[in-house]
Amino acid sequence: MYQDDEAKRSSANQMAMVLVILVILACGGAWYFFLRDAQPPAPSEPIPSLPQEEPTLPAQPLPAEPVPEPVPEPELPPQPEPTPTPQPEVPEPDPLPNLNDSDEFAKEQLNAISDGMQFGQAVEDNNLIRRFVVFVDNLAGGEVMRQQGPFTPLSDDFKALELNGKLYLDPEGYRRFDQYAEFLYRLDETQLRDHFMLAEPLLEQAFQELGYGAGQFRGSIVDGIDELLAAPEYDAPLELVSHSVNYQFADPSIENLTDAQKLMIRMGPDNARKIKSLLRRFKAALNE
């Protein structure tokens, strides 16, 4: 009985001792890990470098690797020459007619630039090229050739209006020029220039018949244009004086103008501005 108790106590003491040792080990282990995390790690010592051995050359040189021969590029078949793109052929202009037979040609040019506008009986139907050249020649000098020009004579007479015992240029008379002014105003200056240049050799020929040298007609055209552009414009009624069957402007500064400039005044300011518009545009087109 005693021995059993002793044995039990001895077994209990051993168990207690085992528990105490386990507790100590557990606490000691925890303390070790705690101290390890709290303290900085000790610097690691550098690893001593090992002595490097110098490379030893082989006793016999290594055989050189063979360099591959370049592979020749395959020859391409000869390429055909590029075929040039054919350029569109510009048709040659029809040869100009003889000056004596140029009326149909002149009318064709007028129809082309009129673009369907009807100018009726406003131009003569014979010797148009020569008539136009004579008209321009006189116009450049300030004169108006009415009988031999390219335009048919006006059927209406010059009109005067009496008001308060004085005579004035009748605005109703401006209507005589409406058809001419409207026709000229609506012409396209570029087309007019192109057709003028087409007919210029015939115009030059007719101009030389008047005794002028070659290449002078275009200068005469410009002089005639400048003469008409210099005509003053008046919107107020213009007083006239009667001399027998003729009328003159009462203002000497107007009466002393050239016939060409007075003709522009008799057309009325609206018609004069329309004609001047075309003249400016045509002159600019000639200089392009």
- At residue 67, the pLDDT reads 59
Of residues 27 and 231, the one with the higher pLDDT is: 231
How many Å apart are CA 103 and CA 130, to the nearest integer? 10
**pLDDT averaged over every residue in the chain:** 78
- What's residue 19's pLDDT? 45
**Quick check: 166 and 239 in contact, CB under 8 A?**
yes
Q: Can you give the pLDDT at residue 64?
A: 57
Residue 11 has pLDDT above 60, yes or no: no
Model pLDDT for residues 69-127, shown as the tens digit of each residue: 666 666 666 767 777 777 666 566 678 999 999 999 998 888 888 877 766 667 788 89
For the purposes of burial, counting CB atoms within 10 Å of the CB of 20, is it exposed (0-12), middle (13-18) or buried (19 or more)? Answer: exposed
**Closest-CA residue to 279 (of 214, 194, 193, 203):** 193
Written as six digits, the tokens of 120 are: 């009726």
What strands, in cross-sheet order, belong to the sheet with 160-163? Answer: 160-163, 166-169, 239-243, 246-249
CA distance 169 to 160: 5
**More reliable by pLDDT, 176 or 62:** 176
Give CA–CA dist 62/210, Å, rounded. Answer: 107
How many whole angstroms separate alpha carbon 166 and alpha carbon 41? 131
pLDDT of 222 strictly over 80: yes
Comparing 31 with 22, the larger pLDDT belongs to: 22
Give the lowest-confidence range in 37-51, 128-142, 143-157, 218-232: 37-51
Q: Give the position of tokens 């282990």.
A: 29
Selected residue with higher pLDDT from 5 and 287: 287
pLDDT at 65: 59
Q: Determine the straight-line distance between the first and last CA of the chain, rounded to whole angstroms.
A: 147
* Lowest-confidence region among 63-72, 105-114, 171-180: 63-72
Burial of 188 (0-12, 13-18, 19+ CB in 10 A): middle
